[in-house]
Amino acid sequence: MQHLSALLPQNPYPGRGILLGRTPDGSRAVLAYFIMGRSENSRNRIFVPDGTGIRTQAYDERKLTDPSLIIYAPVRTVGKRTIVTNGDQTDTICDRLIRGGTFEEALRTRTFEPDAPNYTPRISGLMEPDGRYTFSILKSADGDPAACHRFFYEYAAPLPGRGHFIHTYQSDGNPLPSFAGEPCPVATEDDMAAFAQTLWTSLNEANKVALFVRYITLATGEAETALINRREENSA
């Protein structure tokens, strides 16, 4: 198990990342999602509340160029289930769950992002109301867009104080190398504000864009959310 304060600074560009887990006291589910950016278009974004979820939005609409892969709803809920993804597959999963289908069925209809030469993986997570969670990553075949590899990771008995972390890129580069291996086991914290600050300060200063953190009390479903937007920090 690793600590994010040590893990994240080793990678200047993990891209977009999802963390799911449980607090050390065992009473709450932990969810986190962050975005990073190298281009002006990617950096010109903030997270805004959208019902029980969030969406990305251009901070300066005049500077928005191509919204296709950067404007989406990363977090949505279906009943007491929470979906977290790095793209519009959030809507695919949500729609399939509403119709009685499964997380896995929804993602078998999708592939990696069409952003050659990176072919960015689609990463997704589903948090159940009892704290169980599932991850998915959809990747090109070692950079070859001729095939899509789909991986699913189910955590049916989450341990207190532990989460799992998955992100889009192994490191910076051109093309960007896709994440490899299983979701990384990482430590969580009981204090949501402190955990959000740990995540935010551990991300590369030049590339971080926005962060979402939510803690859900398992006994009641009550949720507490924190949003940090670099654009708003810099304008304060």
pLDDT tens for each residue of the chain, 236 residues long: 999 999 999 999 999 999 999 999 999 999 999 999 998 989 999 999 999 999 999 999 898 888 888 899 999 999 999 999 999 999 999 999 999 999 999 999 999 999 999 999 999 999 999 999 999 999 999 889 999 999 999 999 999 999 999 999 999 999 999 999 999 999 999 999 999 999 999 999 999 999 999 999 999 999 999 999 998 875 54
Which residues are CB-neighbours of 13 under 8 A, at least 6 positions away? 36, 38, 169, 171, 172, 176, 204, 207
pTM metric for this prediction:
0.96
Phi-psi region of 26 (alpha: psi -120 to 50; beta: other; left: phi over 0): left
